[in-house]
DNA sequence: AGACTGTTTATAAACACCGCA
DNA sequence: GGTGCGGTGTTTATAAACAGT
C-alpha cells in the first residue's frame, strides 16, 4: 500500500547531514498518532537530526514522494531500502527543554550554535536576492535557487522542514522585486530581480515567527523545543555591499516632494523619510576597491540581534529598558538626522570629508521594498577585505552572527548598472536621491561604540524615490517597466565613483 | 496575580452570542495544559461557543486584557466577575469529529450551517472593501472597520478567535489598495481604498487555509474539528455591484501593449490577459438603475464553492474528472475569449445589443489587484432588487451561500468617480480599458445554465491596466498618486452610461 | 508605561496552471 | 490525443515580532 505524504505539499524531506551519525536512524514522532496528528506539533525541526531516536515507527511505505538533495524533480517514487529521506520527518521531533539547550551538559551530537547548520540570519527575501545576485546572469530558475540555498545554507538542506521551498516560492511570488522571465527561445522560466530594486533588502532579518516558540518556552513547566537563532529585524535595508572608499559627503536632505506629497505635518513618515535625489556617479571622489577583491567576495553586512544590542545598552545604562523611547531615540538620532533643509546650518551634520569605507549596492541604488522608512542602523561593517578576527571556539553573541558572513561570488558589476537619468517623475523632474551617511566616533557615538564593541559604520542608503509615501515600490515598478535600460547594455561601473551629495536647490 | 495573555497579541476575545445559552459557561480546553499548551491545537474556534463545557479550568485572573465587543480601545483591565470575555478562549476548544458534524443527531445548541454565525465566504480583502465602500466618505478608522465587521458578520464577533483583528490589520497593510490617510486637521487615521482599485477583489473567496482541516479529517481514524465553511477561490474579481442595465457592448480587445511588454509567445499570461483600454462613460447606452434601488442595497455577488460547481459538472458528465483540462478549458472558453485583435472578425463575440443587467463597480472600474488574469466566472447574479427565494430550513449548497448576500448601504456614487482621462502611460498614451462581457444563453452555455441551476450573469471586468504583465498594481499606485482627481470634487455619476467599447486603432 | 496601530516575516495550505511522461 | 502527476506560481489565512503612534 502506497500512501502519499501530503505534508508540506509533497516537498522533499531534508537530507542527512554527512558525518552526523544519524544516517539511517529514524526520527522520533512523539506520542501522537504516527502519521497524521491533527496538531501541528512543531514549527521547526530540531537542530540536531536524530537527536532522539527510539519511538519512531514510521513505515517506509508512508513516504514515497521524497527525493534527493539537489532534486532535479526527477527523483520520484524512491521507496527502496536506501531511501533515508524520511529520517528527518518533521513529526519525529524531539522536545528539548529550553533550559537543556543552554545548560552546561553539552550533548555530544549537538553542534554548536555557531555551526553552519544553524538557521541563517537572512530572510527569504534576502536569501533569494543573494542567490540571484550571486550569478553572472542575475537570473535563476526555481531549482537553481533551491540548490543555491541548500549549498550555501546547510540548514535548509539538512535541518529545515521541507516547507522552506514553499516559502521560497511564496516569497518569489509576493515580492514584486522578483520577476519571472522566460528564456528567449526556450521554455525555462527564470527569476530575476527588477533592476530598480537591486539591493538586498536588509532588514536583516526576519522578525516574525522567529521566536514564536519563545513565548511557549517561557511558559512555566512546559517543555519546549529550541528557538531557532534567527536575527530579529533591523531597521535599515542594507545593500549587497562591495566596499567602496569614498570621501564622506555632506549630509543633505532636500524637501523635493513637499509640494507633491502635500502631506500634513502629522504624517511623520512622509516628512521624515529622506527623499532620494539624483545621485551623480563621478569618478573623482571614489577609491574603488580593487576589482579582484570586489570580485572575490562580496560580503554582506552581519548584524547582531537587536535584542543583544539592546541588552548591552540596557545593562550599560543601569536597568534602562531597551524599550525606552528615550534610549531608542538616542540611538536613532545617531543614525537618522532630523530633517535638514538646505539652508539650515545644522552643525551636527556638516560635511567632514574623511576617507571612509562605505558600502553601497553594486548599482549604487538601494530602493527599499518596504513601507517603513529606511533608517541607518547599528551595523558592524564586515565587508572589508581585511580578514576578520576569527572566533575560534568561543561563541560570543557577536561572533555567533559574524560566522554568517557570506562568501559570495561578486556579481558582474556591469550587470547591475542603473541608468538613473531615465528615472523621471511624472512631472518630468529627475528623480533625486539622498544619501545618508552616519558619522563615526563623534561625541556620543563613543559610548555607543564601546557598548557595541565595534565602530558603527557609515552607511549609505537612498530611500523612497520621490517620496511616494508608502508606495515607493509602485514607482519602481513603473519606471523599471518603462525606463530601465537593457541589462544587456553593459556599462563599466568599476570606475564610477560617488560624488558629493548635492542639493539641487 | 495578574498575568497577561500574550495570545493573539492581546486581542479581545469574542463575545457571547446573545441567546446562546452559553453565557458564563467556560469553554473547554481539551486535554492539554490549561493556559499555554505549546501546541497550537486549533486553527479555528468551534462554531458553537460553549458546545462542550466541563473541563475548562481557566481562571479569571488569567485574562485581564480583554475588552468589549465594539471595543473603543478603552475597556481595559476588566477583571470583574462580569467579565466573560474569556468564555470563548480559543484553547477551550472541542474536538468534534467530522462525522459528528454531519451526523443526524443535531445538537440543540448548534446553529445551522447557513446561520449568520457561520464564517462569511469573503476574504479579509473583500470584507475590508465592503466595509469601507459601505460608508459615505469611503474611509474608515481601524476601529470602525472592526465594528463594521462585527456588526455585519457575527462570526467575527462571537466565534472567531481574536486573531482576526490581527488579520484585518495585516490585510490593510499588505494590500496596497488600502491607503492610510490622516484626517485633514485632526489626528485620526483613516483607511481608504485607492480610487484606481475601486472594486471588491472578488476572487470570492479564500482558497487558502479554508480547508486545512479537511486533509486531516480525511485521515482515517483521526478525530478532527470541523471545517469552517469558507468558499474556495473563484477566478474572477467581481466588483461591488450596483445593478446597472446597459446594452451589451461589443467585446473588443486591444493589443495596446504588445510593443511594450514584448513578451515571448510563451508567456501566456501576458499575452492572454486582456488589456484595459480607456473606457468612455457616456450616457446614451445606459439605463441606470433607479437611484433609490441602488442606494437601498448594493448586493454582492454570491458564488458557489468551486468544488460544488465542479462536482455537479462532474456528475453531469459521467465521471468526467473536474480536473480534466478539457472540461476546464470548455468552461473557461466560455468565460474568457481568446485574444481578439481589432481587425479580426471573431463571430463568437460580435456585438449583440441586448438589454441585460450588468454589474459594475460604482466607479465602473475593476482593476484586479492580483497577478492571475481576470477571468469571468460562473456567478449567480444576486444583485437584482428582486427578492430572492428564501431558503427556509433546507440547506442546499446553493442556498447556503446565498444567505451570505450582503445588505450594504450603497455608497455615494459621486465619491467613486475616476477621471480616467488623467490616467496616462509614461508614453503619454491614454490608458485603455477592455471590458469583457460574457454572453448569455448562447450555444453551449445552455448546458452550463442547466447544470448550474442559474443563468450565468454577464460580467464586466476590466483587467490589467496597460498590461504591465503582473505588476498592474504598480501602475495603479503611480497613477493614483499623481493623476487622481480629488475625491472632494464630486461629479454626478448617476447619469453616466456605458458606451460601446471602442478600439482606438 | 502601556495600549493601539501598522509593517514585515514565517509558515501552512488551497488551488490553478503547465509541462512531461 | 488524452491523461495523470509533479513542479511551479498565486493567493489567503494565521501567528508572531516589533516598530511607530
Ligand atoms: Mg514576484
Ligand atoms: Mg496598505
Interaxial angle between packed helices A306-316 and A445-452, expressed in degrees from 0 to 180 and rounded to the nearest 10 = 110
What cell does B105 get? 443527531
**Rounded (5°) CA angle A317-A381-A438:** 65
User: Residue B122 in contact with residue B130, Cβ under 8 Å?
Assistant: yes
Shortest Cα–Cα distance, B131 to chain A (Å): 22
SS3 state of residue A79: coil
Using the CB atoms, write b or e for B86-105: b if 16+ within 10 Å: bbbbbbbbbbbebeebeeee
What domain range is A190 assigned to? 124-195
Q: How far is the CA of A170 from the C1' of C10 (A)?
A: 10
Q: Does A176 touch chain B (CB under 8 A)?
A: yes
Q: Which residues of A touch B125 (CB under 8 A)?
A: none
Q: Does A5 touch chain B (CB under 8 A)?
A: no
Q: Does B167 touch chain A (CB under 8 A)?
A: no
Task: Give the mean model confidence (pLDDT) for residues B118-140.
Answer: 94
Q: Which residues of B touch A475 (CB under 8 A)?
A: 474, 477-478
- B190 inside domain: yes
Which carries the bigger pLDDT value, residue A357 or residue B399?
A: B399
Residue A298 in this model has a pLDDT that exceeds 60: no
Report the chain B residue with the minimal C-alpha distance to residue A219. B36
What's residue B124's pLDDT?
A: 97
Distance CA A75, CA A147 (A): 15
Question: How far from B252 is each of A303, B353, B360, CA to CA, in Å?
Answer: 55, 14, 17
Whose cell is 545593500? That residue is A239
What cell does A360 get? 553601497
What's residue B178's pLDDT?
A: 96
| Structure-derived torsion over alpha carbons of residues B208, B213, B219, B225, reported in degrees to the nearest 10 | -170
What's residue B177's pLDDT?
A: 94
Asked if strand C comes closer than 7 Å to A371 Cβ, the answer is: yes
Cis peptide before B201 (omega within 30 of 0): no
Task: Give the mean model confidence (pLDDT) for residues B93-112.
Answer: 30
A59: which residues sit within 8 A by CB, 6+ positions away? Answer: none
- A175 inside domain: yes
What's residue B192's pLDDT?
A: 96
**Rounded (5°) CA angle A238-A240-A243:** 95
Counts of helices then strands in chain A (DSSP H, E): 14, 6
Which carries the bigger pLDDT value, residue A145 or residue B267?
A: A145
Q: How confident is the model at residue A146 (pLDDT cuts 50, 70, 90)?
A: very high
Q: Which residues of B touch A171 (CB under 8 A)?
A: none
Chain segment A416-434, per-residue pLDDT in tens: 322 222 222 222 222 222 2
- B187 inside domain: yes
Task: Give the mean model confidence (pLDDT) for residues B396-425.
Answer: 43
Task: Name the residue closest to the C1' of C21 by its CA.
Answer: A74
Shortest Cα–Cα distance, A23 to chain B (Å): 28
Question: How far from B179 is each of A105, B175, B196, B362, B470, CA to CA, in Å?
Answer: 53, 9, 12, 19, 21
- B175 inside domain: yes
What's residue B325's pLDDT?
A: 65
Whose cell is 525555462? That residue is A188
Residue B174 in this model has a pLDDT that exceeds 60: yes
Asked if strand C comes closer than 7 Å to A45 Cβ, the answer is: no
Residues within 8 A of A (CB atoms), B 370-399 only: 371
Report the chain B residue with the minimal C-alpha distance to residue A6. B215
- B130 inside domain: yes
Which carries the bigger pLDDT value, residue B179 or residue B102?
A: B179
What's residue B12's pLDDT?
A: 75
Residues within 8 A of A (CB atoms), B 438-477 only: 468-471, 473-477
User: Most confidently modeled of A73-77, A110-114, B145-149?
Assistant: B145-149
- A288 inside domain: no
Mutate to test the interface with B, among A471, A475, A484 (most CBs of B within 10 A): A471
ipTM value: 0.54
What cell does A112 get? 554548536
Burial label for B225, CB within 10 Å (0-12, 13-18, 19+), is: buried
Cα distance between the two ends of chain A:
76
What cell does A497 get? 565613483
Residues within 8 A of B (CB atoms), A 37-66 only: 37-41
Task: Give the mean model confidence (pLDDT) for residues A295-299.
Answer: 25
Q: How confident is the model at residue B17 (pLDDT cuts 50, 70, 90)?
A: confident
Name the domain count of chain A.
Answer: 1
Q: How confident is the model at residue B15 (pLDDT cuts 50, 70, 90)?
A: confident
Cβ of B478 and A483 within 8 Å?
A: no
User: Residue B120 in contact with residue B157, Cβ under 8 Å?
Assistant: no
Question: How far from A246 is each of A283, A439, B365, CA to CA, in Å?
Answer: 10, 13, 50
Mean pLDDT of chain A: 43
- What's the CATH code of the domain at A169? 1.10.10.10
What's residue B199's pLDDT?
A: 57
Which carries the bigger pLDDT value, residue B189 or residue B53?
A: B189
Centre a 10 Å sphere on the Cβ of residue A299 and count the other Cβ atoms it contains. 22
What's residue B328's pLDDT?
A: 57
Q: How confident is the model at residue B47 (pLDDT cuts 50, 70, 90)?
A: very low
> B32: closest CA among B94, B91, B95, B105?
B91
Separation of CA B7 and ligand 2 centre (Å): 25
Distance CA B307, CA B102 (A): 18
What cell does B206 get? 479564500
User: Most confidently modeled of A175-184, A444-453, B254-263, B384-393?
Assistant: A175-184
What's residue B297's pLDDT?
A: 24
Shortest Cα–Cα distance, A277 to chain B (Å): 18
What cell does A494 get? 568599476
Which carries the bigger pLDDT value, residue A172 or residue B423?
A: A172
Q: Which residues of A touch B260 (CB under 8 A)?
A: 481-482
Cβ of B483 and A426 within 8 Å?
A: yes
Residues constituting chain B: 505
- Residues of chain A with pLDDT > 70, as a percent, come to 19
User: Most confidently modeled of A470-474, B90-94, B272-276?
Assistant: A470-474
Chain segment B358-394, per-residue pLDDT in tens: 233 332 234 677 887 665 433 322 222 222 222 222 2
Q: Does B484 touch chain A (CB under 8 A)?
A: no
Q: How confident is the model at residue A193 (pLDDT cuts 50, 70, 90)?
A: very high
Which carries the bigger pLDDT value, residue A371 or residue B403?
A: A371
HSE toward the beta carbon, residue B418, CA cutoff 13 A:
26
Chain segment B480-495, per-residue pLDDT in tens: 322 233 332 222 222 2
Distance CA A2, CA A19 (A): 31
Strand C: positions under 7 A of a protein C-beta atom: 1-20
- B128 inside domain: yes
SS3 state of residue A203: coil
Mean pLDDT of chain B: 43
What's residue B406's pLDDT?
A: 64
What's residue A117's pLDDT?
A: 86
Distance CA B342, CA B252 (A): 7
Whose cell is 563599466? That residue is A492
Mutate to test the interface with B, among A9, A40, A481, A487 (most CBs of B within 10 A): A481
Chain segment B384-409, per-residue pLDDT in tens: 222 222 222 223 334 555 667 666 55
Q: Which residues of A touch B35 (CB under 8 A)?
A: 219
What's residue B370's pLDDT?
A: 82
Instruction: Spell out the alpha helix ranges (H) of A218-324.
Output: 258-261, 268-272, 291-296, 306-316
Phi-psi region for residue A466, left (φ > 0), alpha (ψ -120 to 50) or beta?
left
- A468 inside domain: no
Q: How confident is the model at residue A185 (pLDDT cuts 50, 70, 90)?
A: confident
Cβ of B477 and A482 within 8 Å?
A: no
Amino acid at each position: 500500500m502506497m500512501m502519499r505524504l501530503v505534508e508540506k505539499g509533497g516537498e522533499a524531506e531534508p537530507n542527512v547531514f554527512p558525518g552526523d551519525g544519524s544516517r539511517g536512524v529514524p526520527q522520533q514522532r512523539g506520542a501522537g498518532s504516527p502519521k497524521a496528528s491533527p496538531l501541528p506539533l512543531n514549527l521547526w525541526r530540531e537542530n540536531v537530526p536524530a537527536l532522539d531516536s527510539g519511538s519512531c515507527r514510521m513505515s517506509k511505505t508512508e513516504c514515497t514522494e521524497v527525493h534527493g538533495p539537489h532534486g532535479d524533480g526527477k527523483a520520484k517514487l524512491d521507496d527502496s531500502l536506501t531511501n533515508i529521506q524520511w529520517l528527518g520527518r518533521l513529526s519525529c521531533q524531539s522536545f528539548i527543554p529550553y533550559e537543556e539547550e543552554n545548560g552546561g551538559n553539552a550533548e555530544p551530537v549537538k553542534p554548536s550554535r555557531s555551526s553552519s547548520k544553524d538557521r541563517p540570519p537572512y530572510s527569504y527575501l534576502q536569501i533569494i536576492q543573494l542567490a540571484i545576485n550571486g550569478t553572472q546572469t542575475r537570473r535563476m530558475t526555481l531549482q537553481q535557487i533551491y540548490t543555491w540555498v541548500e549549498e550555501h545554507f546547510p540548514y535548509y538542506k539538512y535541518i529545515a522542514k521541507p516547507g522552506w521551498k514553499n516559502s521560497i516560492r511564496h516569497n518569489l511570488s509576493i515580492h514584486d522585486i522578483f520577476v519571472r522571465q522566460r528564456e528567449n527561445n526556450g521554455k525555462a522560466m527564470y527569476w530575476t530581480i527588477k533592476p530598480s530594486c537591486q539591493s538586498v533588502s536588509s532588514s536583516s532579518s526576519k522578525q516574525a515567527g522567529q521566536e514564536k516558540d519563545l513565548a511557549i518556552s517561557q511558559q512555566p513547566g512546559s517543555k519546549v523545543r529550541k528557538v531557532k537563532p534567527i536575527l530579529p529585524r533591523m531597521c535599515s535595508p542594507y545593500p549587497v555591499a562591495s566596499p567602496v572608499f569614498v570621501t564622506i559627503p555632506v549630509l543633505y536632505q532636500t524637501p523635493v516632494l513637499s509640494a507633491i506629497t502635500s502631506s500634513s505635518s502629522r504624517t511623520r513618515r512622509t516628512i521624515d523619510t529622506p527623499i532620494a535625489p539624483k545621485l551623480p556617479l563621478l569618478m573623482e571622489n571614489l577609491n574603488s576597491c580593487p576589482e579582484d577583491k570586489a570580485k572575490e567576495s562580496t560580503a554582506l553586512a552581519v548584524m547582531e540581534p537587536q535584542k543583544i544590542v539592546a541588552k548591552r545598552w540596557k545593562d550599560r545604562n543601569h536597568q534602562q529598558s531597551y524599550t525606552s523611547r528615550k534610549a531608542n531615540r538616542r540611538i536613532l538620532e545617531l543614525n537618522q538626522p532630523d530633517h535638514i533643509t538646505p539652508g539650515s546650518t545644522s552643525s551636527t551634520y556638516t560635511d567632514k570629508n574623511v576617507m571612509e569605507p562605505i558600502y553601497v549596492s553594486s548599482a549604487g541604488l538601494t530602493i527599499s521594498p518596504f513601507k517603513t522608512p529606511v533608517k541607518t542602523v547599528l551595523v558592524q561593517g564586515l565587508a572589508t577585505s581585511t580578514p576578520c578576527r576569527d572566533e575560534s571556539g568561543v561563541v560570543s553573541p557577536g561572533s555567533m552572527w559574524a560566522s554568517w558572513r557570506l562568501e559570495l561570488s561578486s556579481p558582474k558589476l556591469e550587470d547591475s548598472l542603473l541608468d538613473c537619468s531615465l528615472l523621471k517623475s511624472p512631472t518630468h523632474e529627475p528623480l533625486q536621491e539622498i544619501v545618508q551617511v552616519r558619522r563615526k566616533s563623534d561625541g556620543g557615538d563613543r559610548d555607543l561604540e564601546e557598548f557595541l564593541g565595534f565602530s558603527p559604520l557609515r552607511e549609505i542608503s537612498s530611500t523612497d524615490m520621490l517620496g511616494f509615501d508608502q508606495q515607493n515600490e509602485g514607482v519602481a515598478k513603473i519606471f523599471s517597466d518603462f525606463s530601465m535600460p537593457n541589462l544587456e547594455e553593459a556599462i563599466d561601473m568599476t570606475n564610477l565613483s560617488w560624488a558629493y551629495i548635492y542639493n539641487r536647490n
